Structure 1
């Protein structure tokens, strides 16, 4: 009796041996398909290191599958028969192999999933079990809620996972959230651990050459690529963080420091997002480190909250609200993204530091993204879709499901407050408090209206003035507007004029 021949498509962000769609695979009969396609590598100008990471990790994963005795068809970017799209390659290989069934795990990108659903093939879809909360479960939780709050969702995920709970189901330490203990600035004399670096093997060297040949016009340098591309190396990166970074992560996760791109951060988000690490194992490791008294509670809870709280939450929002969500523009922004976002050529030291390291390493941590580059885009009124495309392109760990709600919702407040209860806007004083960037800046953070004043200061008040009709009714903004109203009229006018001057410079294509 002939067995059914099944074809399993594995995407570049699904490199897990435990992938849901692979559960029923018959190594003797079935085939796994992996494809490098130009459409996915270039629909935004992805950082060359990001393309390198995904292609190299895909090639290593294909070799690992073969070593397990699994039949693999791998299509390289420069294959002359490559159709250039994922649906095109799936159709081509379904025909070539006479596959009777096609299996695929849910995508991380609405655009790609829709193109596959519209390609005319009968695909059997599998829920992505790498996440703690399924799309259906999140939809059920969000039903009939006008606004969603991550904190309440996070508590549900803590209960579901059993992480950091006492025997009676209450949270360890008496609180669900220790975010207030995660905001310390870096003291003098405290040095972060040296980052772990991974050298390029023969497979990665081939991919690097391919990327140089095909994507040299994309922004970002390639010669600093040192990321893990295998499960084993990703595990080594994680183990190093457990030993040397996690204990201080809780205190300093919001801090920023000049020429210190990584500080006490794990740098595992890219490996996790493409399947080289397992969410549940990471959380269990962190909890075990806490119970073993190796790390404080604010570090354990803070890290777990990022994984099963915020990360799961934004994925749920993405699939609940797409595709309409992507068009959000609450403030009616129309200003294009400044060129210096792609070059780092600005005298604002905080922006230069954050953008410069992003171009060099395809990495910035969450506060640099939210309160520096994101904060500036919010205050300057940048078109949300343009800053979203920039984050998607420039960061190693950026995939649409995680990038879009973070940027459009959290950074730009363009969704009207669905993700965040208030805009995360701030003057230069926040950056001064959480970093040393202001010490070596051409602008003075102590000034707001002079020619050498920190641009964040006047743009902050200008943003609040021009959007008062939308924001004054927000209870979390009431104190800020009371401070604004107490200012003398002359002060308000000076801030407005300085903001107008800076925005006009942006409109003229100038940097500052």
Structure 2
């Protein structure tokens, strides 16, 4: 008996369900670097290098444990270039009696796997991906019992399920579930921002970097100073470093933005987490333990844990609940092409240019840069949400469709019509000015409301609200906003809309074929 176990590039966990309760002598583990996965969108070079390097290191670790690993590299001359093609070749080589695989993270890969039993005439056992805290069916059951998918209530259920930050009486630690009100401080001068832990590329990673630079030279991004963790051991060291050096101030300043400061107090653990090098429970537990020992304040531990067991688990459940329809959602009927500066960074809006620079150099930007700068601008400008989603999927090392698509379509662009977020995450220049130091150094004047020297976010914000007034005026969370609009003199409203129209005409669309 030989069981073929394909392990996908985002399933690099030694605790993977398909590797459990089975003798290594009875199986062949198949890992595949395939052209289709590197190019179905033109992924950032750093993202491709991270995945390939992590896969190669994982394969070596499996071999040391006694597994028979069949590894297909991207430069294999006989490679078919696709998952299904490589499984077919592996079936021909090894003549397995069955295939055993953990459910994939993306809808398109699920469709491939669904056809394998018929194609290969073999039993295909698809196992639950229990690296997540909430299973897909569990989330669907939760969602079906509710009219509104409020993340806060889901998060509370995950707190109860895991016991994280819960006291002996089953109450939330500190008497409150959510300390977000304490986590919105703007940056202060003189803060000592810690660097994440960097890892010098070993010989295997250096080989991958050279290969990616050669094979994918036309892709977006830079490989300079590549230093991401590529093994579970490195990822755990990075986690411990974050908890010790950055987590204590993460909560207070998690929404802050500072020119040229790429990391601030953020962990940059999400690439390792989404690859499988870390599990969500060990990451969240590390934060809870740091609070329990008095090394981290409650607002920081709670805010971080909420991102891991609340938001991350929630968007994964939402993705599988709403696919495939949500992928084409465009409730606001946005049709503008993605602007070219999302690739070049060449814009006089300093907040946007710095976020694009960070994205290009590091395949990273933190959540407020993604949501309230890059995403906010795209929504206000009426950019087609599928263009925005493709861009986010291309450029970030932690972006897989299950996590990226809900965050863009639902939260960032409000393209699902409010299924995920009850109001659009729209903001003008005042928000960016309050939460960053960008505006004091920008070409545009954030205090000016209209005209060629005014911050474009100001006019775009009110133009967006005017365009979608019929949709949003009755939203209970936006009543006060429209009351402010109503109090404006007609000539002021006209000036906002005219300034927005003039600015939008200056946007140069990205070249054709930039993502696919």
TM-score, normalised relative to structure 2: 0.97
Query: What pairs up with 1:175-190 in 2 under 5 angstroms?
Result: 175-190=176-191
- Aligned mates of 1:29, 1:157 — CA distance in 2: 37
Q: Does 1:105 align with 2:95?
A: no
Q: Distance in 2 between matches of 1:93 and 1:508?
A: 44
Deviation at 1:307, TM superposition (A): 0.4
Q: 2-side partners of 1:45 and 1:424: how far apart?
A: 28
Please say if 1:37 is aligned against 2:46. no
Tell me which residue corresponds to 1:68. 65
Aligned residues of 2:101 and 2:126 also touching (Cα < 8 A): yes
Q: Structure 2 CA distance, aligned partners of 1:336 and 1:254?
A: 28
Partners in 1 of 2:357 and 2:364 — Cα distance? 10
The alpha carbon displacement at 1:77 in A equals 0.3
Change (3 A) 1:507 1:196: closer
Tell whether 2:138 aligns with 1:141: no
CA distance in 2, matches of 1:391, 1:224: 22
* Equivalences for residues 392-431 of structure 1 within 5 A: 392-431=393-432
Gaps of 5+ in 1: none
Correspondence for 1:7 among 1, 4, 9: 4
Query: Where in structure 2 are the equivalents of 1:255-404 lying within 5 Å?
Result: 255-404=256-405
The answer for the alignment partner of 1:54 in structure 2 is 51
CA shift at 1:25, angstroms?
A: 2.7
Aligned partners of 2:256 and 2:436 also within 8 Å: yes
Deviation at residue 226 of structure 1 after TM alignment: 1.1
- 1:140-172: CA deviation from partner (whole Å, max 9, x where unpaired): 000053320100000000000011111111111
Q: How far does the alpha carbon of each residue in 1:163-205 deviate from its partner, in whole angstroms, 9 at most, with x for none?
A: 1111111111111001111111111111211332111111111
**Contact conserved, 2:339 with 2:509, CA < 8 A, in 1?**
no
How far residue 112 of structure 1 moved from its aligned partner, in angstroms, is 1.3
- Alpha-carbon offset, residue 499 of structure 1: 0.7
Q: Secondary structure at the match of 1:481?
A: helix
Give me the whole-angstrom Cα distance separating, in 2, the residues matched to 1:449 and 1:426. 16
Q: Which residue of 1 aligns with 2:77?
A: 80
Partner of residue 514, structure 2: none
Equivalent residue number for residue 245 of structure 2: 244
| Whole-angstrom CA distance in 1 between matches of 2:481 and 2:128 | 44
CA contact (8 A) 2:196 2:267 kept: no
Matches within 5 A, 1:434-473: 434-473=435-474
Q: Which range moved further: 203-212 or 190-199?
A: 190-199
CA-to-aligned-CA distance 1:120-147 (integer Å, 9 cap, x gap): 2442101011100000000000005332
* Cα distance in structure 2, aligned partners of 1:479 and 1:360: 40
Following the alignment from structure 2 to structure 1, what is the Cα–Cα distance between the partners of residues 398 and 195?
21
Q: Distance in 2 between matches of 1:90 and 1:385?
A: 30
Deviation for aligned residue 1:232: 1.2
| CA displacement at 1:286 relative to structure 2 | 1.1
- The 8 Å contact of residues 450 and 459 in structure 2, kept in 1 or not, is answered as yes
- TM-fit CA distance, 1:509: 7.2
Residues 47 and 219, structure 1, Cα contact 8 Å, conserved in 2: yes
Q: In structure 1, what is the Cα distance between the partners aligned to 2:17 and 2:341?
A: 42
- Residue by residue, what CA displacement relative to the aligned partner does 1:324-360 show, whole Å, maximum 9, x if unpaired? 1111101101100011101111110000111100000
Give yes or no for contact 1:335–1:507 (8 Å, CA) kept in 2: no
The 3-state SS of whatever aligns with 1:505 is coil
**Structure 2: how far apart are the matches of 1:354 and 1:508?**
18
Alpha-carbon shift at residue 507 of structure 1 (Å): 6.1
Return closer, same or farther for 1:504/1:25 CA change in 2, 3 Å cut-off: same
CA deviation after TM superposition for structure 1 residue 81, in Å: 1.1
Query: 1:447-478: CA deviations, max 9, x gaps?
Result: 12121110100000000000101111111011
1 CA distance for matches of 2:283 and 2:443?
42
Preserved contact between residue 50 and residue 396 of structure 1 (Cα < 8 Å) = yes
Q: Which residue of 2 aligns with 1:92?
A: 89
1: CA distance, partners of 2:456 / 2:169: 51
1:440 deviation in Å?
1.0
Rounded to whole Å, the distance in 2 between the matches of 1:142 and 1:284 is 26
Indicate how the Cα distance of structure 1 residues 387 and 508 shifts in structure 2: closer, same or farther if over 3 A, else same.
Answer: closer
Q: Deviation digits for residues 260-292 of structure 1, max 9, x if unmatched?
A: 010001110000000111211112111111111
**Is the partner of 1:258 in helix, strand or coil?**
coil
Aligned to 1:222: 223
Please report how far the alpha carbon of residue 24 of structure 1 lies from its aligned counterpart in structure 2 after TM superposition: 2.9
Q: How many Å separate the matches in 2 of 1:478 and 1:118?
A: 50
CA RMSD between the two structures: 1.2
- Residues 301 and 450 of structure 1: CA distance in aligned 2, closer, same or farther (over 3 Å): same
Q: Contact 2:338–2:510 (CA<8 Å) still a contact in 1?
A: no
Determine the C-alpha separation between the residues in 2 that align with 1:38 and 1:457: 43
Aligned length: 507
